[in-house]
Amino acid sequence: MEEAFFIQQAKDKMTICKMCRECNGEVCRGLTPGPGGKGTGSTFVRNVAALKKIQLKMAVIGHDVQPDTTYNFYSSIISAPIMAAPISNVKINYGSLVDEQTYLNGLIDGTQEAGVLSFLGDAPAQAMFDLSLDALKKLNGKAIMTIKPWEMSVFMNRLDLVMAENPMAIAMDIDAGGLTSLRSAHPKVTFMSVEQLRMIKQKMGSVPLILKGIMTSEDAMMALDANADAIILSNHGGRVMDQGESSIEVLQEIVEAVNHRCLILIDGGFRTGSDVFKALALGADAVLIGRPFSHASIGSGKEGVVHLVNRLTRELKDAMMLTQCATLSDIDISKVKVRL
């Protein structure tokens, strides 16, 4: 089916999100709750805009490259280094006409069929957390539950429930400690210290801990101190802090500081396979994509999500073919021009 069909389906099923031609944060500036970025919306806008300051260097003399996009993430071989970012509360945020359960089913069935992974979201309401937990169960632990940094007793309770499902990894969106609406909710979010994070990792044993919301090399060093196995460079799609840097702008500095001591994932504004290529060239291991996965699942469920992953993978393969990259490890800084 044509791209235009999936776009129309998404438009018809959302009353708040306008499903703009380019999802760049302009129309929804300040709409949080909603699909937008906080305040002036400039952090979301900057995420998308900064990616345009990197160009791919075309190389067409050489071999006839057949790009291989497969990626090994904690012993799961996935079809491309692309994952659905955790997103919850689709009724409130997008004005979704499909309910949370239907949205989640489309997301996990679609990512599973397309051979990639989903991060699952969390919210104060136990019922919302339970929906994500059920999705994790359905996937036999092959997804990444993202628990918010709740006050410790609530966090530990939710961690126990997730650990019981034999998860491949567990993430925590530590930047959610700054979400104003959740700082006064019940349960409420908080910021976590290195000691608390270490204690959490100790409880998880060999299950990888992924810290989402790292934007400086100082925080990356503290994540390493806390024994995190991976970090996600993310500003929550611009929803936590106004006037912040974009995640792609801080990538190279953090890659250098981390120096291969943990995996580095990134999200914020990635819309095409060429965007994914840019992050890999600057040193990221894989890329999470948020809003486009929500649009795809709300609009067309599993088929929409499969269509999205196929398009992104096709674009990534095109980018690799035209830069003479046969494998993901061939993608490096020499393949792009950076004007950040």
Ligand X SMILES: Cc1cc2nc3c(=O)[nH]c(=O)nc-3n(C[C@H](O)[C@H](O)[C@H](O)COP(=O)(O)O)c2cc1C
Binding site for ligand X (CB under 6 A): 35, 47, 85-88, 93, 121-122, 146, 173, 212, 234, 236-237, 239, 267-270, 289-291
Q: Which residue, 122 or 219, is less far from ligand X as judged by CB?
A: 122
Asked whether the beta carbons of 171 and 146 are under 8 A apart, the reply is yes
The verdict on whether 307 is a catalytic residue reads no
Q: Which residues contact 206 (CB under 8 A, 6 or more apart)?
A: none
Q: Which residue, 67 or 290, is less far from ligand X as judged by CB?
A: 290
Which residue is at the shortest CB distance from ligand X? 290
Q: Which residue, 67 or 86, is less far from ligand X as judged by CB?
A: 86
Asked whether the beta carbons of 298 and 10 are under 8 A apart, the reply is yes
Question: For residues 174 and 49, what is the distance between their CA atoms, to the nearest angstrom?
Answer: 25
Compute the least distance from the CB of residue 33 to ligand X, in Å. 8
Q: Which residue, 118 or 324, is less far from ligand X as judged by CB?
A: 118
Asked whether the beta carbons of 69 and 116 are under 8 A apart, the reply is no
Q: Give me the residue label for tokens 């500003």.
A: 235
Count of CB atoms situated within 10 Å of the CB of 257: 14
Show the 3-state SS of 40-99.
CCHHHHHHHHHHCCEEECCCCCCCCCCCECCEEECCEEECCCEEECCCCCHHHHHCECCC
Q: Which residue, 67 or 158, is less far from ligand X as judged by CB?
A: 158
- Considering only CA atoms, which of 122, 106, 220, 105 is closest in space to residue 171? 122
Compute the least distance from the CB of residue 267 to ligand X, in Å. 4
Compute the least distance from the CB of residue 84 to ligand X, in Å. 9
Compute the least distance from the CB of residue 201 to ligand X, in Å. 18
Compute the least distance from the CB of residue 89 to ligand X, in Å. 6
Q: The tokens of 311 are what? A: 């398009």
Question: For residues 335 and 310, what is the distance between their CA atoms, to the nearest angstrom?
Answer: 23
Pick the catalytic residue: 63, 186, 236, 307? 236
- List residues with catalytic annotation: 236
